[in-house]
Chains A and B, each alone.
Chain A
Amino acid sequence: MSATTAEGTAGLSRRGTAARLARRHGWTVGVYVLLFLLVLYWRTQTNLPWGPFDVQSLAIDALPLAFAACGQAIVILSGGIDLSVGSMMSLVNVVAAKYMVHMSLEEALLFSVALVACTALAGAVTGLVIVVTRVADIIVTLAMLFVLAGAALAVLEVPGGGVPVQYQSLVTIDTVGTKWLPAAILILLGSYAVLWLTMRRTRPGLALYAIGSNRPAAYLAGVNVSATRVLAYAFSGAFAALGGLALTAASGLGDPNSGTIYTLNSVAAVVLGGVSLLGGVGGLLGPIAAAFVLTLVKSLMILRGVDQNYAQVIQGTLIVLVVMLGGLAIRQKAKGG
């Protein structure tokens, strides 16, 4: 048996609060700094006067991806992945555009709520399939990607449909007096607040982090792992619907392929936002900022007239570079501290 003096316990040290805060939130702050720098650069690239319209268009452009990233982040934090996000967005987009055309604003809003509820349910079913069959999440959600993409094409084979004009203006027109704060941002902030409360202040929210961080430990601590996983996919479904609706409001059109790019872009935003793909580490503010960064990079390249194909190469390279540099910085800090 090993013997130890009082030193044994005294050696169980702790670190300073400031260092801990920097370590926990450093990445998120970094992403916002990156966003700020990009916005500055963006301003130097246009000679036109910079106005509320630019902020609005950026916010509207970024909103679908921000929602998709939130849903994806929740699943990834819980230790899973959801590849069906994009197809779900397409499906919601075409269903909304097909049936909302002749609706009043109130009807359209009600219909939206129903759509979100339905997709949350669909997400829960996906989660249930994963939990019950024990097939890997990546396979089940990949299958869902095809199923939902097919369904979207079945609903609306070619782009078409539409939404009430007032529905579109929900995101486009400022609703709070100042033109600098688009409604899209407010909607996003509102959903973030709700999410933050759930994720950080309720037991199911903590359970999401717990099962992503160390599943056996969470189980031994009495967490209902299966129910929590189902919950994560339900969240993801609901947020994919919000993303799809944002897409519909922005374009005023239904397109069965409109969501396709969002599957992998949402994963990119989550990673860029500082969430560990292994689960358990990260928040939602980072991925939201990352969604704006990715959107801004894209529009910057359009602005500069970069070829579409090269634009993708550049975007991919950028993601790898940022994530790599971030990883290096963390390792450096770990060595120094």
Chain B
Amino acid sequence: MAEHLLEARDLAKSYGPVRALRSADLVVDPGEVHALLGANGAGKSTLVKLLTGVIRPDSGTVVVAGKPVRVRSPAEAARIGLAPVFQDPALVPDLTVEQNLRLTGTDRGAVRRELRALDLDVDFSEQAGDVPLPMLRMIDLARALAREPRLLLLDEITAALPSDLAERVFTVMRDSRERGRSVLFITHRLKEVIATCDRATILRDGGAVATIEPEEGGEERIVEYMLGPEAAQAAAEALEQDADRAAPVRARAAGERPALEVEGLTVGRLQDVSFSLRPGEILGVAALEGQGQDDLFDVLSGEQTPSGGEIRAGGRPLKARHPYDAIRAGLVLVPADRLHALLPQRSVRENIAAPRYNRVPRWGAINMREEGRRVRGAIDALQIDIRAARQVRRLSGGNQQKVTIARWLAGGFTTMLCFDPTRGIDVGTKRQVYALLRRLAEDGAAILFFSSELAELPLVCDRVLTLYGGRITAELPGPAADEASLLRAMHGLVEGDEEAA
């Protein structure tokens, strides 16, 4: 066999007490599309950052095309032929696209060619901050491609791309393979891996546990590697158990007074939306990008005031002018972007306790013992990994999301608004989040759950609403909400009788 394009051995990196990477090996061959998989906190992002010079390893070696290299900065990585596309596009918002390309010394003609090949039309004189995020990712990708890299590193690029753009990324990956260039592809979507990747390296707890050739129907095996054999089984069982328990909950829910009623709500894109949500019920929301789901969650969480219609929380009309009002009425938000909810520089304890400060007496000291008890309770309930508890920003994405949920557990609420809470979270943590939401519902919480991943809706929800063009197009019972029927309703294609609702 020809020599490897990239050979990383025993890479290790620690942040204080947290060992992000213990000893990771990765071998990528020329012309190979190689997947890098692992649960949150397994070290995928750390490995990519090490390879591209964003951070420096504590130990280990990297060999590129037979030559040992020490990559000290992203600029140096580019010279060696390693071109990364990160989750957050590396375009500077206040410069135009054109200036951004000049900044990195990229050939503008080549970028234009790559964009044409991707079938995209971009105005280079536009400020990068004005370009929508999915498009920015594509420009970033085109910029990386324009440098004709030997290895393209894609860090969860498809996570927030609409499927037509994601499809073009897969085309790029296949093209690269044909031209003898390699791709390192990081994703949480196992289907994508099976469809496009030649090999996959799986990381667990900061070390590489296996390199396999993904095959049709091999998802469970990959999950097992990612979680470790025991954990995988436990997670699967927990989910099954919860599914069994869900039925009686639904029956009980039907009798009670709604926790949240929305009538004729009109705001932004939303037009005349009505639904009700009972305690103990998980109501799913499915929609394509920009069909009004953002407005719905903004209004319910008090960030925006409605222009028409009524919201009743626990039977009382709610006129929220501020998130504070919504929280007082028991409506709490778990956003997709954890950093919108957390105080990244503060400790886990403070983050979980923060919403409680709303109820602390204005004068006098905070009861620290009471606070500590509640915070510990929430941490235990959610199994948060608190090794790096002094600063929330050091936690992995999944653990951060658990903290955002834990805050409300400690604070108390009646209705939880979850807006795509599993975005960018690994399979194992996702399952924990599903189980957790189920348990909350069982304890009487009402949950409104929007997800961009359709497959999770039937797993979690009792009912699913679909939004299209700001209106509710269908209401499906949870188990019946398979991807096909959801997709049809999300595109506004519903059979005649349901349109009346």
A residues in contact (CB < 8 Å) with B: 1-9, 11-12, 14-15, 17, 20, 24, 203, 206-207, 209-210, 212-214, 216-224, 280-281
Contacts and interface: CB of A to CB of B under 8 A. Distances in A.
A220 B90 CA distance: 6
A117 B93 CA distance: 33
A7 B94 CA distance: 27
A16 to B, nearest CB: 11
Given A8-B162, A209-B99, A221-B91, 19 more contacts: A2-B454, A3-B288, A6-B164, A9-B135, A11-B132, A11-B290, A12-B131, A17-B125, A20-B126, A209-B95, A213-B93, A214-B92, A214-B94, A217-B91, A217-B93, A221-B74, A222-B73, A224-B73, A280-B93
A6 to B, nearest CB: 7
Contact of B135 (A4, A12, A15): A12
Given A8-B289, A11-B290, A206 B103 contact: yes
Contact of A9 (B90, B165, B191): B165
A4 B163 contact: yes
A125 to B, nearest CB: 23
A23 to B, nearest CB: 9
Most chain B CB within a 10 A radius of its CB, from A1, A203, A209, A219: A1
Nearest to A8: B162
B86 A220 contact: yes
Interface of B: 54, 73-75, 78, 84, 86, 88-95, 99-100, 102-105, 120, 123, 125-127, 130-132, 134-135, 162-166, 189, 191, 288-290, 452-455, 487, 490-491
B89 A281 contact: no
Most chain B CB within a 10 A radius of its CB, from A209, A212, A217, A224: A217
B163 A222 contact: no
Contacts of B125: 17, 20
A4 B92 contact: no
Contacts of A206: 95, 99, 102-103
A214 B164 contact: no
A203 B105 contact: yes
Nearest to B77: A222
B94 A213 contact: yes
Contact of A280 (B84, B92, B120, B131): B92
Contacts of A1: 163, 166, 189, 191, 452-455
B429 to A, nearest CB: 18
B204 to A, nearest CB: 24
B55 to A, nearest CB: 11
A221 B92 contact: yes
28 contacts: A1-B453, A1-B455, A2-B453, A3-B163, A3-B288, A3-B454, A4-B162, A4-B289, A7-B288, A9-B135, A9-B164, A11-B132, A11-B289, A12-B135, A206-B103, A209-B94, A209-B95, A210-B95, A212-B94, A214-B92, A217-B92, A218-B92, A220-B54, A220-B84, A221-B91, A221-B100, A221-B103, A223-B104
Contact of B74 (A5, A6, A219): A219
A8 B453 contact: no
Nearest 10 Cβ contacts at the A-B interface? A4-B162, A222-B75, A220-B90, A213-B94, A8-B162, A280-B94, A210-B92, A2-B452, A221-B90, A206-B103
A273 to B, nearest CB: 16
A261 B88 CA distance: 42
Contacts of B94: 209, 212-214, 280-281
A6 B289 CA distance: 12
A222 B288 contact: no
B162 A203 contact: no
A12 B126 CA distance: 12
A278 to B, nearest CB: 10
Contacts of B73: 222, 224
B90 A5 contact: no
A226 to B, nearest CB: 10
A14 to B, nearest CB: 5
B425 to A, nearest CB: 15
Contacts of A219: 54, 74
Contact of B289 (A2, A214, A224, A281): A2
A195 B454 CA distance: 53
A224 B75 contact: yes
Given A5-B164, A213-B95, A203 B102 contact: yes
B74 A222 contact: yes
A8 B131 CA distance: 14
A150 to B, nearest CB: 35
A220 B104 CA distance: 10
A103 to B, nearest CB: 43
A203 B106 CA distance: 11
Nearest to B74: A222
Nearest to A11: B290
B90 A217 contact: yes
Given A2-B289, A9-B162, A15 B130 contact: yes
Contact of B165 (A8, A17, A24, A222): A8
A35 to B, nearest CB: 25
Nearest to A279: B94
Given A2-B162, A4-B164, A216-B88, A222 B93 contact: no
B104 A222 contact: yes
A213 B130 CA distance: 13
Contacts of B92: 209-210, 213-214, 217-218, 221, 280
A225 B167 CA distance: 35
Given A14-B126, A15-B130, A209-B95, A4 B288 contact: yes
Nearest to B455: A1
A210 B103 contact: yes
Nearest to B49: A220
Contacts of B165: 4, 8-9
A9 B133 CA distance: 11
A224 B289 CA distance: 37
A189 B127 CA distance: 27
B289 A12 contact: no
Contacts of A213: 92-95
A280 B127 CA distance: 12
A187 B459 CA distance: 71
A203 B102 CA distance: 7
Contacts of A17: 125
A139 B217 CA distance: 59
A66 to B, nearest CB: 24
B166 to A, nearest CB: 8
A76 to B, nearest CB: 13
A73 to B, nearest CB: 14
B289 to A, nearest CB: 6
Contacts of B103: 203, 206-207, 210, 218, 221, 223
